[in-house]
Structure 1
Amino acid sequence: MNIFKAMAQRGHEQVIFNFDRRTGLRAIIAIHDTTLGPALGGCRLFPYGSEDAAIEDVLRLSEGMTYKAAAAGIDFGGGQAVILEDPVNRSTSEALRAFGRFVETLQGRYITGEDVGINESDLVQVAKETHHVIGLPKAYGGSGDTGDMTAQGVLTAIRASLEYRFGSPSLTGRRLAIQGLGKVGYQLARRAMAEGAHVIAADINPHVVGKASAELNIEPADPWTILETPCDVLAPCALGNVVNRGSIDRLACHIIAGSANNQLEDMEMGRALRERNILYAPDFIVNAGGLIQGAAELQGYSQERAKRQIEDISPLLSEVFRRSDESGLSTVEVAMAIVEERIDMLHAIRRIFTRPS
């Protein structure tokens, strides 16, 4: 991969590689855009098949964080870290502390948090070496797990999507298919069941599916065919790239609204969904709940304030859907245009105030 070409194409400011000789830690931090403020984004620990795959993921995820923060009206930029390691072979506390030292070298340009493969306990180790961490357990002065707040945001997005497509935000009797029953997917299933939805869910871990079936009374599904499930709403809540050229024609849903990052293979998939009359709620708007919680933590955490900000997802999506229908553009193109408008406005303001007198 030509890293500088890839950075130029996506508009990245900085990509930093770290290798810690003592622990073997291999980590990458990507800072996409700091126009709105310091870069904020999670740390993903994943068994990447190659270094190029890790670089591609950190570039896409950090770019997505820029759009997520701007869409949510949060004054932070987009960043992301990845650790190249198999989650089964857990990072030692020393390796996580080495990652914390890596974050500290950026002196606040990047603030890290949870993502796939990293939990609150891991962040406690990271925080021993840097203050630039969000999502710590409440006992350590943080706001705790972001899964429930993210699920609340997804449910808010689903209600807005249902209202736009069917004229009512009610989940009662609606079929919701959830791909992935991790910390967000499970909480989404619980909340949706409480509101009267019929939930079909799948996960590659059969024990998680069994637990959800027993505790929540969801309908279990095959993880390899969940995308084909006839439903009102498909909620991808696992890894990204689920809407691609191999899956687009097999989708049997009216709406897609889930927590997974980078759900579309590329922009063409957004146009293809519109052509198929599938209403797509852009993922960087839908899954902003965790980011909203983390940003609120940095400002002196108030759960009520964070919940109010999460409710703003609904009118934003309504605007995206309306402008999409008026313009003929895909919902993701419209959402990105709204974000770029805000970033361009901030650039213009800065130029005015930094102009030599």
Structure 2
Amino acid sequence: MPAALHPERLPPDRWIKVLPEGLYVEPGGFHIDPVRGVERAVITHGHSDHARPGNQLVFATPGTLAIMAQRMGEAAAVVTRPLDYGETIRIGAVTVRLVPAGHVLGSAQVVMEYAGSRVVVSGDYKRRADRTCLPFEPVPCDVFVTEATFGLPVFRHPPDLGEVGKLLHSLTLFPERSHVVGVYALGKCQRVITLLRAAGYDGPIHLHGALEPLCALYERHGVALGELRPATVAAKEELKGALVLAPPAAATDRWARRLTDPVVAMASGWMRVRQRARQRGVELPLIISDHADWDELTQTLEDVAAPEVWVTHGREEALVHHATQRGIRARALALIGFEEEEA
């Protein structure tokens, strides 16, 4: 770093601010995942609660920019600057690079260095294997800004293949019934498909029309999904006994009534909460999440070894307490506009 940009060491909370637009990195003049359009934004991933339209200049991975372009068109940004994983640039006086977050295609953590400190903003992340995206990369740092969507000890996600095994077992038990699985369009849909393929299911999977564009995008980025068929235009007889993926609302609404005596499943970390499954009329809850569970969150704090942790959206209090008990300085950030999972 040039001498002129070597300011006296500043605590990160002096140069990273919580503003109404979101997390603002003052010496770089940019926001991270702003909730409304700003001049310069670094976007961690393509979910709509993190990637919003109206920004002038957006820095993100090529995968995230492709997702934003497909979902928002020209409204995604006036100018985009793709950043490959590991590529280092300077934005204002801050050195920035992106590393994998393991959440969805293109998802990234933001690694920033300024004034003698390294701060990592995790975005959303998970720690388990996923064929659809690169795995989370722990980066040692001075301050770790972590999500806490499932930041309670009750949230311990079971093995993914075991959950998919429940779905496959139901298919053998009820071969005459359609099975419709509620999945989010970005990330969860493609992950469930690759888990089914990994478990040996090589038959056709029918897709609600809203899921098709992002599946095609994933395949263009090298994620093989196998045979996919449109469900929206398929004859009712063709869908008898079929495996169908649909957005959560469609899976539990009138759209699913065209299926033959459907078994309604839902793939979400929130399926751990039985009341949520019952309220949505879910017969087969599948606890499959793209967010870290309690054990993965706490393990990540150990792995990055940051002496200070800032906790964003989710169950902040429990993770702050856990960190404090282990001698880590911890506090909750009052960020607004982030959902627990993309709706």
TM (normalized to structure 1)? 0.37
Larger radius of gyration: 2
Bigger helix fraction: 1
TM (normalized to structure 2)? 0.38
Higher relative contact order (CA 8 A, sep 6+): 2
